[in-house]
């Protein structure tokens, strides 16, 4: 069980985190999945819908997710996960992240310290919803 991502997409996630600092960025991971193995082939940067507390919260509206899902399917891809940033906090999922998480999806978190993207980690919700477990992120150098 692993998730692979191209270096270019990884860099786009980091840059999105830097752009929105000190607010959280968020986005959708598109790609292909075979059971639990996922290949991220594109990312869709999204607007953070939590205008009330964007420095420590993010939300992707269900209507945005529906539209993105349609777009993905047209391209032969699926929504396979999400990313967000933790401004001035470690790239570790919070209790709030866990409560709101869905199984199976890959969750990528990038820590952004003082505007500079730092650690980037990937997580999966355990089947009993009790915890996030680290997901192996395989970074590829070549084209899709």
Partner 1 sequence: MGVKVIIPTPLRQYADKNASVVVEGKTVDEVMQNLTALHGELKRHLYGEDGKLRRFVNIYRNEEDIRYLEKENTPVKDNDVLNIVPSIAGGNIHFGNEAVLPGIPGRK
- The residues binding partner 1 (CB under 8 A) are 24, 26, 28, 33, 50, 53, 56-62, 65-66, 78-80, 82, 84, 86-97, 100-105, 107, 111-114, 118-119, 128-129
Name the residue nearer to partner 1 (CB basis): 8 or 133: 133
| Contact present, 114 and 89 (Cβ < 8 Å) | no
Least distance between partner 1 and beta carbon 115 (Å): 11
Radius of gyration, CA atoms only, the chain: 14
Give residue for tokens 């084209």: 143
Least distance between partner 1 and beta carbon 88 (Å): 5
SS3 133: strand
Name the residue nearer to partner 1 (CB basis): 40 or 111: 111
- Which two three-digit tokens encode residue 99? 């409560």
**Torsion angle of C-alpha atoms 56, 45, 5, 63, degrees rounded to 10:** 90
Least distance between partner 1 and beta carbon 6 (Å): 21
- Which two three-digit tokens encode residue 130? 């009790």
Q: How far apart are CA 35 and CA 140, in angstroms?
A: 20
Name the residue nearer to partner 1 (CB basis): 96 or 138: 96
Name the residue nearer to partner 1 (CB basis): 43 or 60: 60
Least distance between partner 1 and beta carbon 142 (Å): 27
């Amino acid at each position: 069980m692993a998730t692979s991502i191209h270096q270019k997409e990884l860099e786009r996630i980091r840059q999105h985190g830097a752009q929105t600092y000190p607010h959280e960025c968020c986005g959708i991971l598109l790609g292909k999945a075979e059971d639990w193995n996922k290949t991220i082939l594109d990312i869709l940067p999204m607007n953070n819908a939590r205008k009330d507390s964007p420095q420590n919260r993010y939300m992707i509206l269900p209507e945005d997710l529906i539209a993105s899902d349609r777009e993905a399917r047209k391209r032969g891809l699926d929504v396979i996960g999400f990313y967000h940033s933790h401004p001035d906090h470690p790239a570790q999922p919070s209790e709030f992240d866990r409560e709101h998480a869905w199984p199976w999806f890959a969750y990528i978190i990038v820590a952004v310290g003082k505007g500079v993207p730092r650690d980037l980690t990937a997580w999966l919700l355990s089947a009993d919803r009790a915890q996030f477990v680290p997901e192996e992120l395989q970074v590829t150098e070549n084209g899709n």
